[in-house]
Structure 1
Amino acid sequence: MMSKRFALTSLSVVLALGLTACGSNAESNSAGSGNSKEGEKTKISYWTGDRHDAEFVKEKVAAFNETNTDGIEVELVVKGDDFDTALDLSFQTADSPDVIRVKENTIGTFYKKEYLAPIDEFLTDPLKDKFPAMDDLNTFDGKRYSLPNYGTTMRLIYNKDLFAKAGIENPPATLPELVDTAKKLTEAGKADGAYGFAQNFKNPPSALGRSSRVIAELSGFGGFGYDFKTARFDFSGFKPIIETFKQIKDDGSMLPGVESLDIDPLRAQFAEGKIGMYLSFSSEPGVYSTQFPAKIDWAAAPAPTIDGNVNGASGFLGGQWLALSSKSKHKEAAWKFMEYMYSDAILTDYQEKGFGISMVPSISAAAKTPDVKGIEGFLPNAHDGVWPVYPTVAPEGMKSDDAFFKYMLNGGDLDAVITDLNKRYNAALDDAIANDGLKAEPDPSFDPAALGGKFAK
């Protein structure tokens, strides 16, 4: 799903943790069992693309390195938007990680590329009961490849100070209101360098995956252009959404330079009060608590819909977290680290510190509501729900996010763009069904509005 047509600057940070004098020159334990001789270390690596919880994970990894009695030493590697590309390259060499952070939009791809090893042999009955198995999200062909930690909701994040300055009482609930609100915020803030709206368009799939997706899903359309009723791709539901984003940019209500804006620089600008609104995930409260302490009063509200009517559900994203690499030579040691990370203490701490909303029933029932500014706006409501997994295809030519962003920049005939996308994506779908064993069957009774509310307390 990540575009390879746009240059992605690596923000990779390698954090070598818990190094000891005896481990610096020791050879790895080739048995991979986690047991080590005196003075030896079993070294494994964990790769993640998450940055919002990097300090939290760094602390937990350091604690594991200091306290485990199996001689296991974990190297944490935090990468940026080049995560998928870097992982692909690592599997072509001998440098692939032992443990991989997987997400709802990557685990299926990694599974098909045979990057992942099943974890069933390590799962006890209590672990199977504790962690929900979710088809096509952590379970494939009857085998589990990951366990859930937290789910992610999507919201409109807004600058309450700038709203007050512009005399706006409520966040927008419709697309026309989004355009009007962005314009008024810009008029009120432009003298101080503040603009009404922004997204991280350096990476169009990341930008639209946190903005147009949630608007489409709440409005009743598949967030990736796939219609589950007909089992065909149909991007027509995105037309008013993309037109709205283009209008905001044409009005001058969008932060200048969004073409090269990554998500962390966007967050830094928002924390400084330079952005009125943007759409993103429930990781943001943790970001503004620790990574970029907010200098403004801010809050989160439900994303707008096309016309104010909620005909679907905002995707409650999750079902997976850590996975075991198929190329790991130390699978047992890697599992011991995974088991540690999936402990009640860490999962509870993860939610209570505001990094995510647990999808593990026993944790969500016991964990306290995070005492983190802004988290209340992200808690699951009646319109949050888990969508089915759409089929991933590889169309010839430009991907949908890149095509939509090109239209936003250059204009043109959006109807023609959508017609072309439908043609190419459905051709790729038919090819995958015919040649790759992909299954995609119509579900005429599918009701997106019925997906919501299952996770609300």
Structure 2
Amino acid sequence: MKKQLLLSSLSIVLALGLAACGNSNSEANTNANTKTNTKNSPEGTTEVPKEKTKISYWTGDRHDAEFIKERVAKFNETNTDGIEVELVVKGDDFDTALDLSFQTADSPDVIRVKENTIGTFYLKEYLAPIDEYLTDEMKAKFPEMNELNTFGGKRYSLPNFGTTMRLVYNKDLFAKAGVTAPPTTLQELVDTAKKLTVAGKADGAYGFALNFKNPTSALSRSARVIAEMSGFGGFGYDFKTARFDYSGFKPIIEAFKQIRDDGSMLPGVESLDIDPLRAQFAEGKIGMYLSYSSEPGVYSSQFPAKIDWAAAPAPSIDGTVKGASGFLGGQWLALSTKSEHKEAAWKFMEYMYTDQMLTDYQENGFGISMVPTISAAAKVPQVNGIEGFLPNKYDGVWPVYPTVAPEGMKSSDAFFKYMLNGGDIDAVITDLNKRYNAALDDAIANDGLKAEPDSSFDPAILGGKFAK
């Protein structure tokens, strides 16, 4: 794989430990810990309790928050090194909050990284290499994936799970509307959304929704996978020509606009975040949406589903699969460069990467393991809906595309603006191609970025490598 860089992409704080900061119990514990204990000490001597080493772990994942909270609490209770971990769970503002934290003294010790953030965080020098901590056994166990967890010959994270993307649909509403199968083309997606809206009108249900409070998040879980299934790079980058070309997104964005124009999209999606969307789906108010394989865990614990639901492969543009649905992953936890307790942070990371933890993570339905020894031994999760997310012949890992910072509006914002206001989609795409390629040329000339064409690149052969 050519060396390239990754795309740059309700804050809930769960403080775990002996007590919460700022309350009377915490104050009492603090005072108690600072007092001299002479009860069991030899006469004339004092015993000073060992101070805890406090570290923080920041994550943007909410689907597994309760599971991780329990495991962090167990670590805090059982580790013999006096380490206390504070878990901080953030929403779609994770990247911004992390940037701000690195400008202060409040940055985390351990950071959740993803395939679309690890390259950016690496370039910003947020991440410390972990090679010195890895045993030979760990090096053999965890796949080294260039540009996904390894940069410049050094590892910055280890994989846990991979994420598939699917069309999530309300089987009850499908049955009520007389729709016998999920859509496989964009036209079927538009038509099905309309039928579901008609059938659900009396109950306030609509055929389709996306979390457009954050257009990048919305289109990254929807337009991206439809484009990839159709043979186009999911972020507008053409690996054959090494140029940005958003023309493949035209029918996808037009279909989304048509669904909205038809009145088949849930009202208020402009301010809809992913968790409120999930809550609405669990109540039966949404017929379809596209998202990641984290959803089964969400509907078994976070928002228990009151409906019968399932997942199916995302549609392609015309029903023909010419590429692969991105199987995302290769990284999970990373060590912060600003951590003052790297040894303690690594001990926590080591705990999180134990076989038992990774096995439980899959078997509880939070993700499909990308660690060969775990995927071979772990059971298929007994979680409703997971079967639709298991890797199939169309799931595959795409190459890493280059990160650029174009002047003006991002592609996701430009497409969402068109969906809301209309206009000339061809002009929108022409403008995006011009600005993104100008940024690409600038990064190649001034930042040492490498982007070379690969005339032999064939997206149709990417799929099937993770299917059992």
Structure 2 runs not aligned, ≥5 long: 1-6, 20-25, 35-47
Distance 2:152 2:439 in 1: 23
Deviations 1:153-172 (A, max 9, x none): 00000000000000010000
Matches within 5 A, 1:113-124: 113-124=124-135
Matches within 5 A, 1:232-381: 232-381=243-392
Distance 1:303 1:66 in 2: 43
Partner of 2:402: 391
Deviations 1:380-406 (A, max 9, x none): 000000000100100000000000000
Q: Does residue 14 of the first structure (1) align with residue 13 of the second (2)? A: yes
2:379 match: secondary structure:
coil
Partner of 2:183: 172
Kept after mapping to 2: 8 A contact 1:23/1:39: no
Distance 1:197 1:103 in 2: 27
Distance 2:309 2:199 in 1: 16
Kept after mapping to 1: 8 A contact 2:214/2:273: yes
TM-score in terms of structure 1 length: 0.95
Runs of 4+ in structure 1 over 4 Å off: 20-23
Deviations 1:79-101 (A, max 9, x none): 01110000000000000000000
* Deviation larger for 17-26 or 56-65: 17-26
Kept after mapping to 2: 8 A contact 1:282/1:375: yes
User: Which amino acid is 1:442 matched to?
Assistant: P
Kept after mapping to 2: 8 A contact 1:151/1:316: yes
TM-score in terms of structure 2 length: 0.93
User: Which amino acid is 1:16 matched to?
Assistant: A
Corresponding residue to 1:61 among 65, 69, 72: 72
Distance 2:130 2:199 in 1: 54
2:403 match: secondary structure:
coil
How many angstroms does 1:2 deviate by?
A: 6.8
Distance 1:24 1:91 in 2: 28
Kept after mapping to 1: 8 A contact 2:111/2:334: yes
Structure 1 residues 388 and 110 mapped into 2: Cα distance closer, same or farther (>3 Å)? same
Partner of 2:81: 70
How many angstroms does 1:23 deviate by?
A: 6.8
How many angstroms does 1:13 deviate by?
A: 1.4
Partner of 2:464: 453
RMSD: 1.2
User: Which amino acid is 2:205 matched to?
Assistant: A
How many angstroms does 1:16 deviate by?
A: 1.3
Kept after mapping to 2: 8 A contact 1:2/1:205: no
Matches within 5 A, 1:21-32: 24=30
Matches within 5 A, 1:142-181: 142-181=153-192
Distance 1:69 1:156 in 2: 45
Kept after mapping to 1: 8 A contact 2:8/2:116: no
Distance 1:433 1:23 in 2: 56
Structure 1 runs not aligned, ≥5 long: 4-10, 28-36
Corresponding residue to 2:94 among 59, 63, 83: 83
Distance 1:299 1:83 in 2: 29
Q: Does residue 105 of the first structure (1) align with residue 116 of the second (2)? A: yes
Distance 2:12 2:416 in 1: 29
Deviations 1:229-260 (A, max 9, x none): 00000000000000000000000000000000
Deviations 1:195-242 (A, max 9, x none): 000000000000000000000000000000000000000000000000
Q: Does residue 187 of the first structure (1) align with residue 192 of the second (2)? A: no
Distance 1:334 1:12 in 2: 22
User: Which amino acid is 1:433 matched to?
Assistant: I
1:86 match: secondary structure:
helix
Q: Percent identity?
A: 86
User: Which amino acid is 1:248 matched to?
Assistant: I
Distance 2:166 2:302 in 1: 19
Kept after mapping to 1: 8 A contact 2:8/2:403: no
Kept after mapping to 1: 8 A contact 2:197/2:206: yes
User: Which amino acid is 2:16 matched to?
Assistant: L
Kept after mapping to 2: 8 A contact 1:12/1:80: yes
Partner of 2:224: 213
Distance 2:196 2:11 in 1: 35
Partner of 2:49: 38
Kept after mapping to 1: 8 A contact 2:8/2:120: no
